[in-house]
Amino acid sequence: MRPGLLLRVIVLVVACVGQAGAQSMSPMRGTVTSFTDEFAVRVFPKNPYRRPVEVAVRVYDEKFRPVEARISPPSMMLAAGASRPVVVVVGFGEENVRRVRVCTESVPFPEGKTRIRAQICGRFLARRVR
């Protein structure tokens, strides 16, 4: 077994065994076909923690540069263990193929107890059919 593969397996096992959940979002990948100048993706951010967390959904291109998009809702408070659907609408511009990353980002608590900003991103490929 290759050393790099063994390390990945160990990290995966440790991550699965640990008690603390990781912030999640589903789906993490997708392909969309659109007949219009825009495409839509529905994602489900989830809060695995024991306390409410404020999250924001943002869209980036494949190099993590911000992309203009309509996000509904763009931010929300998720209760412990809760998940909520978010609709993201992105324009194609002049392109017929668009790759974007839809990211769920936790917003640090204002009372200063933690400054950690977790981010998890899904990759989506959209094709415009003319």
Query: What is the pLDDT, as a whole number, of residue 49?
Result: 83
Q: Which fold has domain 20-128?
A: Immunoglobulin-like (2.60.40)
Exposure string over 50-76, b if 16+ CB within 10 A, otherwise e: eeebebbbbbeeeeeeebebebeeeeb
> Tens of pLDDT along 88-97?
999 999 999 9
Are β-strands 29-34 and 119-128 bridged in parallel, bridged antiparallel, or unpaired?
Answer: parallel
> Tens of pLDDT along 15-49?
333 334 556 788 899 999 999 999 999 999 998 88
Query: What is the pLDDT, as a whole number, of residue 112?
Result: 58
Place of tokens 């992105």: 90
Domain ranges for the chain? 20-128
Q: Cα–Cα distance between 130 and 120 in angstroms, integer?
A: 32
Please, what's the largest Cα pairwise distance for the chain? Answer: 51
> Tens of pLDDT along 72-119?
999 999 999 999 999 999 999 999 999 999 999 987 666 656 566 688
